[in-house]
Structure 1
Amino acid sequence: MLSKVNFRIKTIYNILRPSEKKVADYILNYCGKLEDLSMTLLAKEVAVSQPTVMRFVKAIGYDSFKQFKLELAKNYDKENSIDILYGFSINADDKIMDLPGKIVATATSMLENALKSLSLVNYQKTVALINQSQHISIYAVENSMGVAHDLMTKLIYLGKSVTCHSDYYLQSIDASNLTRDSLAIGISYSGNSKNTVEVLKIAKDAGAQTIAIVNFENTMLTRYGDIVLSTSNDQFLYGDAIFSRTAQIALVDIIYMGVIISDYDNYTKKLDHYSRLIKHRGYQKEEL
């Protein structure tokens, strides 16, 4: 579980100044004794000024270095006494009994990295574009297709006009029919899935606004995204990354909740209406 301090750091990491990010990185990876951590030492270790350290402390919501250090100490001993296998990749020598812990730890680490990597500015722009667009088309292949369908379903429940074709030819035709009032979203863990890249380019050439959801920022897909949302995890295995959907699905939920919050009364009314429409399709408790 993220400590309160680490959570605050990762939430605002992308809007910190470069010098403040140096302090953030040092704190996130700090393994020494807390009693030895002083503002003077921290500034020296990171090669920044003490005022920079203080700006960082205030940026994450603390009035003083002492308050920051006390909060950091609350979960420090607990976090460092539990071996949750962070940083271990899965390999052929692993015992089956070790896998659940490793997999959960890896997924947790990826979600933390996703939070740290997410641009809050681009996130807000994404929510705004979804609200403004007359139509939304979502493109993906393979593992990312499940994520694309999840996003489509969520947006349909909010009353949005959304399409998500699995066939490349239909994707291409759909993309070519988009207009300036349309939004095209391409989802690819690697950012280099040829079909998704080509279709997002077609959509952009047609005049649509575009969003690229990827793991790595500097990829072919990001060349054609007006907005880029990256999740930044580095676990490679079968299918580019066996855990690739973990961060993507979390990002879909983040987008979905952001859209709801942007017009809460309107969207909750729609959700209530649609839930009433399909309520009879599920068994009630008294029927079980």
Structure 2
Amino acid sequence: MNSESFDTKAVGPRIRMMMPLLTPLEAKVVDTVFAMRDFSDETSLKQIADDAGVSEAMVVKITKKLGFAGYRDFRTAVNQYNRQPTADMHQELSVDDTSTEIVQKVFRTSINALEETLSILDMVAFDKAADLIHGAKHRDFYGVGGSAQIARDVSHKFLRIGVRASVFDDVHMMLMSAALLSEGDIAIGFSHSGNTTAIIEGLQLAKRNGAQTIAVTNYNSSALAQAADVVLCSTAQGSPLMGENAAARIAQLNILDAVFMAVAQRDYQSAERNLDRTMSAVKSKRKDKPS
């Protein structure tokens, strides 16, 4: 990534996705930069180093580790990213906020996550994921906590068009599932951080047994991403109170909604037929509107 070829909207997301590869001290330097309200093309290397309590050489080293040619290239990219209208969308909640301000901040955080996720979405990985899900014999989804809820939502969508998937949110059940998968099967691991041990181990075991694996995560350099054959990556900016998980979930659900549509498209007639059947099956459980 350099200041002449980058997609400005993707600068922040790509830096955030690299954060798991940084040491705590290196991450502190990046956090220092993004916390500066007056960061501009005039901000000196010395100022960053002094504010972060590190050497100028370390700042340069970190910018290169993030994929930039050097500090100047990094400064230009970040400054242009910060100038975007969406850059002001991410604001921390305050005890003095009105209800209207709270609603706006929460919605804008999600909007920002969607815009930035779209800017970094790997379309090759997207198409590969759709092909694997469509062609698999067995589809096992792994997730815990909030990620398990995403897995269930996705499984529900696929069942509507006759694409069956099993969801596992228990560590032992994940490993038992992975032990039984083989070539032609697929395991999908959902983890916001990409560091959830249970999900990583499940994907690793499934892969050793010949199954294809997909990771759905917020960090494409995470341990989960490295364990997967295909990575679908969301991106969401964190904050102390609002966190990044909620916005990332919105982004991940949208990615999987698009995958669902792509899978349905691969056999549209079958998907349409199964959708009619499943909708008819639950129709009696809905209260019809009065005529």
TM-score (norm 1): 0.69
Match of 1:72 in 2: none
Match of 1:232 in 2: 235
Is the contact between residue 234 and residue 252 of structure 2 (CA under 8 Å) also seen in structure 1? yes
Is the contact between residue 140 and residue 148 of structure 1 (CA under 8 Å) also seen in structure 2? yes
Counting only pairs closer than 5 Å after superposition, residues 187-198 of structure 1 correspond to structure 2 as 187-198=190-201
- What amino acid is aligned across from residue 100 of structure 1 in structure 2? V
Residues 201-246 of structure 1: CA distance to partner in whole angstroms, max 9, x if unpaired?
Answer: 1111111100001111000101111001101222244676343311
2:130 corresponds to 1:147 = no
Q: Any runs of at least 4 consecutive aligned residues in structure 1 with deviations exceeding 6 A, and if so which?
A: 17-20, 26-29
Residues 92-136 of structure 1: CA distance to partner in whole angstroms, max 9, x if unpaired?
Answer: 554444110111111100000111111111100111101110010
Counting only pairs closer than 5 Å after superposition, residues 23-172 of structure 1 correspond to structure 2 as 24-25=7-8, 85-92=88-95, 94-172=97-175
Is the contact between residue 84 and residue 105 of structure 1 (CA under 8 Å) also seen in structure 2? no
Instruction: Measure, in 2, the Cα distance between the counterparts of 1:261 and 1:242.
Output: 29
- What amino acid is aligned across from residue 283 of structure 2 in structure 1? K
Q: Structure with the greater relative contact order (CA < 8 A, sep ≥ 6): 1 or 2?
A: 2
Is the contact between residue 190 and residue 199 of structure 2 (CA under 8 Å) also seen in structure 1? yes
Is the contact between residue 186 and residue 196 of structure 1 (CA under 8 Å) also seen in structure 2? yes
Of the candidates 197, 201, 206, which is equivalent to residue 203 of structure 1? 206
Match of 2:78 in 1: none
Shift of 1:194: 1.3
Instruction: Measure, in 1, the Cα distance between the counterparts of 2:4 and 2:246.
Output: 33
- What amino acid is aligned across from residue 163 of structure 2 in structure 1? K
CA 1:235 to 1:221, structure 2 compared with 1: closer, same or farther past 3 Å?
Answer: same
Is the contact between residue 214 and residue 228 of structure 2 (CA under 8 Å) also seen in structure 1? yes
Is the contact between residue 189 and residue 214 of structure 2 (CA under 8 Å) also seen in structure 1? yes
Is the contact between residue 236 and residue 245 of structure 2 (CA under 8 Å) also seen in structure 1? no
SS at 1:186 equivalent: strand
**Between Structure 1 and Structure 2, how many residues are aligned?**
220
Is there any run of 5+ residues in structure 1 with no aligned partner, and where?
A: 1-16, 30-44, 46-78
Is the contact between residue 85 and residue 101 of structure 1 (CA under 8 Å) also seen in structure 2? no
Counting only pairs closer than 5 Å after superposition, residues 4-15 of structure 1 correspond to structure 2 as none
Counting only pairs closer than 5 Å after superposition, residues 268-287 of structure 1 correspond to structure 2 as 268-286=272-290
How large is the Cα RMSD of the aligned pairs? 2.8
TM-score (norm 2): 0.68
Instruction: Measure, in 2, the Cα distance between the counterparts of 1:227 and 1:84.
Output: 29
2:261 corresponds to 1:257 = yes
Instruction: Measure, in 2, the Cα distance between the counterparts of 1:26 and 1:157.
Output: 35
